[in-house]
C-alpha cells in the first residue's frame, strides 16, 4: 500500500503530463485552422493565440515545456504542424515561427497573473519574438530582409496583435467567470 507521501509526487507528475498533453493537443488543433494568403508561404493559424494562452494560463516553465513537447512531436515525424509535414516543417520557410513559439510561450508566461495591460504588452513582445524567429528563417529562403518582412511579418501584424488582445481578454473573462462561479 502506498503512503500519502508516495502518492503526491505521482499525482503531480500525472497532472503535469495531462496538462502538457492537452496543451500539445491545443497547439495541434490550432495549427489545423488555417487561412492561406496569396504570395506568402506562411498561413494564418490560431497557433499564435494558443501559444499566448498557454503562457498566460500555465506560466513560463510549463508553457515552454508544452511547446517543447509539441516541437519534439513534430520533429519525430507526427504531422501536427499547419501543413501536416512533420519533420519536414523544420526545413521550410515557416520553421522559424515554429521554433520561436518556445521562447514566445515562456515570455508570455511572465504575463500570468499580471494586470490586463501588462499582460497585453508582454503578449505583444511575445508576438515580436515569433516574428523575429520567423523572419530570420524566411530570410534564408527569400534573400532579403524586405522580402522576409513583406512575406512573413507584414501580412500578419493586425491579426496577431488582435490575437494578443483576444488572449488577454479570454484570460480576464475566465477569471471573472471563475470568481463569479465560486462565489
Residue 6 — very low, low, confident or very high, per pLDDT cuts 50/70/90?
low
pLDDT one-digit tens code per residue, 11-44: 889 999 999 999 999 999 999 999 999 989 999 9
- Asked if 30 contacts 80 with a C-beta cutoff of 8 angstroms, the reply is no
Buried b (16+ CB within 10 A) or exposed e, 75-103: eeeebbbbbebbeebbebbbbbbbbbbbb
What is the CATH number that goes with domain 4-182?
1.10.1760.20
Beta bridge partners of 35: 44
pLDDT at 133 over 70: yes
Nearest of 74, 67, 139 to residue 103 by alpha carbon = 67
DSSP conformational letter for 82: T
Over the stretch 42-77, which tens digit does the pLDDT of each residue have?
Answer: 999 999 999 999 999 999 999 999 999 999 999 999
- Domain boundaries, given as residue ranges, for the chain: 4-182
Indicate the pTM of the whole model.
0.91
Measured distance CA(135)–CA(113) in Å, rounded:
30
Amino acid at each position: 500500500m502506498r503512503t500519502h507521501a508516495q502518492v503526491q509526487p505521482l499525482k503531480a507528475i500525472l497532472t503535469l503530463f495531462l496538462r502538457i498533453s492537452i496543451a500539445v493537443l491545443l497547439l495541434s488543433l490550432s495549427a489545423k485552422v488555417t487561412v492561406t494568403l496569396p504570395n506568402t508561404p506562411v498561413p494564418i493559424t490560431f497557433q499564435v493565440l494558443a501559444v499566448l494562452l498557454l503562457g498566460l494560463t500555465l506560466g513560463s516553465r510549463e508553457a515552454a515545456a508544452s511547446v517543447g513537447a509539441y516541437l519534439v512531436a513534430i520533429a519525430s515525424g507526427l504531422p501536427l504542424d499547419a501543413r501536416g509535414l512533420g519533420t519536414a516543417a523544420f526545413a521550410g520557410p515557416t520553421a522559424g515561427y515554429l521554433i520561436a513559439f518556445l521562447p514566445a510561450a515562456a515570455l508570455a508566461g511572465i504575463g500570468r497573473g499580471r494586470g490586463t495591460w501588462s499582460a497585453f504588452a508582454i503578449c505583444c513582445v511575445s508576438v515580436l519574438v515569433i516574428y523575429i524567429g520567423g523572419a530570420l528563417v524566411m530570410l534564408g529562403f527569400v534573400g532579403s530582409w524586405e522580402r522576409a518582412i513583406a512575406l512573413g511579418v507584414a501580412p500578419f501584424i493586425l491579426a496577431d496583435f488582435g490575437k494578443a488582445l483576444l488572449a488577454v481578454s479570454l484570460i480576464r473573462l475566465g477569471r471573472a467567470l471563475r470568481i463569479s462561479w465560486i462565489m
